[in-house]
């Protein structure tokens, strides 16, 4: 049985995504989206107080309701075609720019999926570093909490471990560009 066949055996219910995400958090929940996420929906996600996860395992889109601790990686299968999570709007975007993937984002991202994050500024595509030494450096920095929260220093750390990301402002992202991102273009 393929992963797609296996996952289709126990599909979660189709949910109305805004209602689903607006409900108070009781436990991590997974629902199925009735259609692909739109730009308007993705722009709305950073207004929520907690992260949200979205995943495409063709042909189904899933939504993960998360806590203030974030979206657990076990609910975002690495074999997905697309993985998206949101960074809620920070109180101080200068000190905590939500459009830059965290070290944990790079650590947990899939080698095969299109990895995206949505923030108040736009959509960021990011890739897992290819070199095992760079991956270990990220893991070690997370474990030891040695990477700086200071933005210029953090960007220097990301450069030192060959962490790649591209930011697309909401002005650049229409439905056509969103489709291209979902297709890995």
pLDDT at residue 93 in the model: 57
**Confidence at residue 6, expressed as pLDDT on a 0 to 100 scale:** 44
Which residue in 43, 148, 150, 37 sits closest to 88, CA to CA?
Answer: 43
Which residue positions in the chain have pLDDT lower than 50?
Answer: 1-6
- Residue 72: the pLDDT is 86
Q: Which residue has the tokens 């270990």?
A: 136
Query: Structure pTM?
Result: 0.86
Residue 5: predicted pLDDT = 42
Edge-to-edge, what's the strand order for the sheet holding 29-32? 29-32, 60-65, 52-57, 82-86, 114-118, 122-127, 164-169
Distance in Å from the first CA to the final CA of the chain: 30
In this prediction, residue 129 carries a pLDDT of 86
pLDDT in tens, 43-87: 999 999 999 999 999 999 999 998 888 888 888 888 899 999 999
């Amino acid at each position: 049985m393929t992963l797609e066949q296996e996952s289709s055996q126990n599909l979660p219910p189709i949910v109305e995504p805004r209602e689903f995400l607006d409900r108070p958090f009781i436990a991590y929940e997974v629902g199925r989206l009735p259609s692909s996420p739109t730009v308007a929906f993705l722009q709305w996600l950073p207004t929520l107080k907690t992260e949200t996860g979205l995943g495409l395992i063709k042909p189904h889109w899933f939504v993960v309701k998360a806590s203030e601790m974030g979206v657990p990686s076990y609910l975002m299968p690495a074999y997905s075609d697309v993985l998206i999570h949101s960074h809620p709007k920070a109180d101080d975007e200068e000190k905590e720019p939500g459009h830059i993937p965290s070290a944990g984002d790079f650590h947990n991202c899939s080698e095969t999926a299109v990895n995206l994050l949505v923030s108040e500024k736009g959509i960021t595509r990011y890739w897992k570093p290819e070199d095992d030494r760079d991956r270990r450096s990220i893991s070690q920095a997370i474990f030891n909490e040695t990477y700086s929260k200071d933005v210029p220093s953090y960007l220097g750390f990301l450069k030192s471990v060959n962490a790649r990301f591209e930011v697309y402002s909401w002005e650049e992202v229409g439905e056509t560009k969103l489709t291209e991102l979902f297709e890995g273009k």
